[in-house]
Chains A and B, each alone.
Chain A
Amino acid sequence: MSNITSPSPEAMRARAVLLGRSRWGVAEIIFWILAVACYWLFPTKLSLLSEIAILGLVALSVDLVLGYAGIVTLGQGAFFGIGAYAAGLAAKFGMGTSLWSDPVIGLFIGGGVAAVIGFATSFLVLRGSDMTRLMVTLGVALIVDEVVNQMKWLTGGSDGLQGVLPSAVLGIWEFDLFGRVAFVYSLVVLFVLFVIARALVKSPFGLSLQAIKGNMLRTRAIGMPVNARLVAVYTVAAFYAGVAGALAAQTTQFASPDYVAFHRSADAMLMLVFGGAGHLYGGLLGSIIFRTMQDVLGNITPQYWQFWLGVTLVALVLFVRGGILGLLDNMLAAWRRKGGAS
C-alpha cells in the first residue's frame, strides 16, 4: 500500500505484522461455511436466520464504535430505524417497479441517510465523559423515536409503515414467502460489509482507533487526529446500522416505531457484549446466541427470557470478562501455555 523507497528492517517488520493480522484463519472460514450451510440445515427457520444476520450487522456496527473506538453508545437503534424508514419509504414510493424500490439501491439509501445523520450527530459524542456520551446517544435515539411517532403523514405513526414493496433483488430474485431469498440476500450483504469492516479494523486506521480507545490523551499527543477518526468511525457505523435497518425493512416489508425503540439500541449492545466486544465475530456470535435464546425462552413465557437475560448479563459482568470470545481467548492462551508451544 505505502510507497517505501528503501524499506528499513523496522518498516519491513511492521509491514509483516500488519499483513499477518489480516490473514484469514481456519475458524473464520468454517464459520462462514456453517452460515451458508444453515440454508439447507434449517429450511423452516429461514426468516429467523435472516433476522439473526441483520441483528449481527447492527451488533457489528456497535462493535466498530464501542469495541474498537471505545465510545459507549446507547443510540445505534436510531440509525437502524432511520435506515429502515428511508429504505422502506423509497420502496413504497417506487411502488415495486421503479428504480426506487430496487433493494440494493434501497440499501444505499438507508445506509446513506443514516450515515448523514450519523455524521451530523457524531460531533456530539466527541465531548464529555462516558456518562455524557451515554446520555447524548440515548437522547438522540429518543428524539428520533419521537419524530417517527409524530410524523404520521410520512411514517404512518404507531401503525408502522405499510406497503413496503421492494422489487426483485438485482431484478432476478423475487422475495418469496419462505424467506429463502431474504436469507441469502441478508447473508451476502452481511458478508460483504463484514469483509469491509474486517479490512478497516486491520488497517492502520483500525489500529489508530484502538489506540484512541486505549488512551485518548496519548494518542492525541503522538499527533493522531483523534476527533476526525472518531467522526469517521461513527459515520461508518451509522451507515452499517442504516444498511441493517434497510435490510430489515425490505425482508419484512414493514417498518414500525419498534425499529427505533430504546430496546433496539440496548439489544444491539447486549448482543455485542454476549459475544465479546472488540472482536469482529463478537457481534455475529452474540446475535446468534441472543436471538436463539430469545426464541427458545421467549416461547415458554416472555418473562422467562427477560429474567434469564438479566441473569446472564449480571453473570457476564461479574465472572466472564470480554464475552464468549474473550473466554475462548483466555482458554486458548492457557492451553498454549500448558502445551508449551513455541
Chain B
Amino acid sequence: MLTILLDGIAYGMLLFILAVGLCVTLGLMNFINLAHGTFAMAGGYLTITLMQKAGVPFLLCLPAAFIFAAALGLVLERTLYRHLYDKTHLDQVLFSIGLVFISIAMVDYAYGANQQIVNLPDYLTGRFSFLGASIGVYRVFVIAICGLLVVSLQLALTMTRFGSRLRAAVDDGRVARGMGIDVTRIFAVTFAVGSGLAGLGGALGTGIISFDPTFPLKYMIYFLIVISVGGTTTITGPFLAAILLGVADVAGKYYVPAVGGFIIYTIMVVVLIVRPQGLFARAAAK
C-alpha cells in the first residue's frame, strides 16, 4: 500500500518536472507545444549515451542533461518557435507534431527502436524496509530531487524579481511589455529553463520509465493531462495534478490492470468539461 503510494508520488513528481516547462509555454505565450517530450527525450538519451559510452557517473549526467536540453530549447526557440507565436493553434499543433516526428526518426536512426536500459549506480538501486513496506532507494532519490526542484521553482516564482516579471507577463503580456518588461527575453529564458527541466526529468526518468524513440508521442498525452487538469496559471495546480495522475496511474495498473488508462482519460474529459480552465486554476484571468 505504502509502496504503491510512494511509487506513485515518485512517478507523479517526475511527470511534473517533465511537464512544468510546457505549463509555462502554454500559460505565458498561449503556445501549444506538443514537442515538449522531445526535450525530455534529449535529456534521457544523453544520459544513456554518457553513461554507456563514456562512463560518466550518473549524478554528473543529471546537470549535463539539464544544460543540453536547455541549450537545445534555446536554439529551437530562437530559430523556429518564435515565428509561430502569432499563428493559429492549429499551426502550432502541426508544427510541433512535425518536430516530434523528426526527433523520433532521428533517434530511431541513431539508436534503433529498442528500449534503452540504464544501469544505475549501486547506491541507488537497493530497496529498504520502512513501516513494513519495501521502498526503492531510487524512488526516494527521485522524490527528494523533484521535491527540492518544486520548492525552488515555487520560491523563484514568488520571491525573485524574475519571477514577478514572469507572473506579470503571464497575467497580461501587453501591459507587462508596456511597463518596460522584456517579455520576449523572459520567454526565451523560461523556455530554455522549461526545456532543461524536461531534459533533467528525462535523465531522472531513465531509472523509472523505459526509453524508446516513441517517447515524445507516448508521454505527450500525460503532459497534456497534467497541464489541462492542473491549469496553467499556477505551479501548484499542475503539481497536484501530476501527483494525482502518478498515483492514479500506478495504483490503477496495480489493482485494476484490466481497466488500464480508461479511468485517467475519463477523469480528464470530465474535468475538462466541468472546468475548462483546469481543476486547480484560479478564476479565469481573461
Which residue numbers of A lie inside 8 Å of B, CB to CB?
66, 72, 74, 124, 127-132, 134-136, 138-140, 142-143, 146-147, 149-150, 262, 266, 269-270, 273, 277, 303-304, 306-307, 309-314, 316-318
* B99 close to chain A: CB less than 8 A: yes
- Inter-chain contacts of B106 with A (CB < 8 A): 307
* B268 close to chain A: CB less than 8 A: yes
CB distance from B237 to the nearest CB of A (A): 15
Q: A72-B93, A138-B221 are in contact. Are A310 and B262 (CB under 8 A)?
A: no
State whether A314 touches B102 (Cβ < 8 A): yes
| B contact residues, total (Cβ < 8 Å) | 42
From B262, B266, B276, A132 is in contact (CB under 8 Å) with B276
In the bound assembly, the distance between CA atoms of A147 and B259 in angstroms comes to 9
- Inter-chain contacts of B101 with A (CB < 8 A): 306-307, 309-310, 313
CB distance from A157 to the nearest CB of B (A): 11
Contact residues of B: prevailing secondary structure: helix
* B57 close to chain A: CB less than 8 A: no
CB distance from A228 to the nearest CB of B (A): 19
State whether A127 touches B228 (Cβ < 8 A): no
Q: List 11 A-B contacts (CB under 8 A).
A: A128-B276, A132-B228, A136-B272, A142-B261, A143-B262, A143-B266, A306-B108, A307-B102, A307-B105, A310-B98, A310-B100
* B5 close to chain A: CB less than 8 A: no
State whether A140 touches B98 (Cβ < 8 A): no
State whether A130 touches B98 (Cβ < 8 A): no
- Inter-chain contacts of B224 with A (CB < 8 A): 135, 138
Q: Which residue of B lies closest to A124 (CB)?
A: B273
State whether B269 touches A143 (Cβ < 8 A): yes
* B83 close to chain A: CB less than 8 A: yes
State whether B102 touches A136 (Cβ < 8 A): no
Q: A130-B90, A132-B276, A135-B228 are in contact. Are A317 and B268 (CB under 8 A)?
A: no
* B265 close to chain A: CB less than 8 A: yes
- Inter-chain contacts of A303 with B (CB < 8 A): 105, 108-109
CB distance from B139 to the nearest CB of A (A): 27
* B80 close to chain A: CB less than 8 A: yes
CB distance from A269 to the nearest CB of B (A): 8
- Residue-wise, chain B 99-118 has the 8 Å CB interface mask toward A (1 for contact) of 11111111011000000000
- Among A124, A135, A270, the one with the most B-chain Cβ atoms within 10 Å of its Cβ is A135
In the bound assembly, the distance between CA atoms of A132 and B30 in angstroms comes to 13
Q: Which residue of B lies closest to A135 (CB)?
A: B228
From B105, B109, B273, B276, A310 is in contact (CB under 8 Å) with B105
State whether B268 touches A139 (Cβ < 8 A): yes
* B95 close to chain A: CB less than 8 A: yes
Which residues 227-283 in B have Cβ within 8 Å of A in the complex? 228, 258-262, 265-266, 268-269, 272-273, 276
